[in-house]
Amino acid sequence: MTYMQLIHKLSLHLVLAAGALLLGACAGTEKPKQLDLGPNVPLIGVRTAWTSNIGAIAFPLQVRIVDNLAFVAGSDGTVAAIDTRTGGDLWRVALGSKLSAGVGSDGRYSAVVSRDNELITLDGSKEIWRQKMGAVTLTAPLVAGGRVFVLSADRSVVAFDVVVGRKLWQQQRSGDALVLGRSGIVMAVGDTLVAGLSGRLVGMNPLTGKTRWEAQVANSRGTNEVERLVDLVSGVSRVGDQVCVRAFQSSIGCVDTVKGSTVWSKPASAATGLVGDGTALYGAESDGRVIAWRRSDGERLWTSDRLRFRGLTAPLLVGESVIVGDEVGTLHFLSSKDGAPLNRLATDGSPIVANLELSGQTVFAVTQRGGIYGFKPE
């Protein structure tokens, strides 16, 4: 069973930071019964505009959208910049190294991390340098401001010069020996580098790595290291200076990145990120319930049980539609008002494995088999 298959069966993946050892534990032996969705009755028009392929994906791929380009990668080390309007390649390159994390890009420079713990940086389709990392990396690097920022599984954050690969600084955190084997959070908010470190969102000076503030989203609890895992997972909702995040299987919360303080935090149980706007947040819980929360205080607005036990992705919000992918490659379009079904479309039958993205009017989806799909409204 592959890494991504385990994710879509709601399995727990851990990394032993000291030894960079991946562990896995499946949750349950018999899968609960899914609801019969019945025939699809489309209430909104959506069509498959184009398809492409990047090769099989067995790592936590994060798609990066810059203008009309999508930067994607396959497990075998293929990296591509795809025009989201047509599905055609701007460029495609084979790095010759299997990947564990990617893709980060500012539109010109792109970065991925190999299973050999090498940070590999490209200028367009040309590889320009590699640097050995000290630990397994599962989070796509952030390329911004002439730097490459890397969050590794040992909770270290390292900055490199994007042109020459010179190491600029490193911040190292101590913590539990076990950390989550999923992609985390490293992003820019104004002039602050923001990273998820355990159950905290941490703001840093991107020039020096010094901490500016820390905001607690979740507290470790439980009787063992596994139960105490509360790492923040990729997929955030940012509106202005407020960033809302999910802590693994424990809570969701919003942080004011100017004050460096937690606005609110509420219990929630899932391993995928959030999406939202100025009014609401949306997420898929571990059992497949899709939930909307009020952004101002985290109170629940509605819950949909129709897609339970289908291994859902983090949602994408497009207009008045909340879109989630599932473990058989179906995209489900739900109403943002109440979760009612609006449409659903199939891909290649394998799980949707990367973050769903919007580029212009194109919804961008990637499957475990490497299928890349562009969906557009009719």
Confidence of residue 5 (pLDDT cuts 50, 70, 90): very low
Q: With 80 as the cut, is the pLDDT of residue 16 above it?
A: no
Q: How confident is the model at residue 290 (pLDDT cuts 50, 70, 90)?
A: very high
Using one digit for the tens of pLDDT, what is the confidence trace for 269-279?
Answer: 999 999 999 99
Confidence bin at 160 (pLDDT 50/70/90): very high
pLDDT class of 330 with cuts at 50, 70, 90: very high
Q: Is the pLDDT of residue 61 over 60?
A: yes
pLDDT (0 to 100) of residue 19:
35
Is residue 69 situated within a structural domain? Answer: yes
| Structural domain contains residue 159 | yes
User: How far is the C-alpha of 351 from the C-alpha of 9, rounded, in Å?
Assistant: 10
How deeply is 200 buried, as exposed, middle or buried, from its count of CB atoms within 10 A (0-12, 13-18, 19+)? buried
Per-residue model confidence as pLDDT tens digits over 99-109: 999 999 999 99
Is 239 within the bounds of a domain? Answer: no
Q: Which two tokens stand for residue 128?
A: 């320009």
Q: Which residues contact 156 (CB under 8 A, 6 or more apart)?
A: 134, 135, 170, 171, 172, 173
pTM of the model: 0.91
Domain CATH number, residue 69: 2.40.128.630
User: Where does the pLDDT of residue 14 fall: very low under 50, low under 70, confident under 90, or very high at 90 and above?
Assistant: very low
Q: Is residue 264 part of a domain?
A: no
Number of folded domains in the chain? 1
The pLDDT value recorded for residue 9 is 35
Closest CA to 148 of 174, 125, 173, 118: 118
Does any domain span residue 207?
no
Considering the domain boundaries, does residue 321 fall inside one?
no
Instruction: Please say whether the beta carbons of 68 and 359 come within 8 A.
Output: yes
Residue with tokens 């424990």: 250
* The pLDDT of residue 23: 36
What pLDDT is attached to residue 265? 97
Residue 36 resides in a domain: no
26-30, 159-163, 211-215, range with the lowest pLDDT: 26-30
202 domain-assigned:
no
The mean pLDDT of 138-161, rounded to a whole number, is: 96
pLDDT of res. 181 = 80
Give the range of the structural domain holding residue 93, as residue numbers without chain letter: 62-181
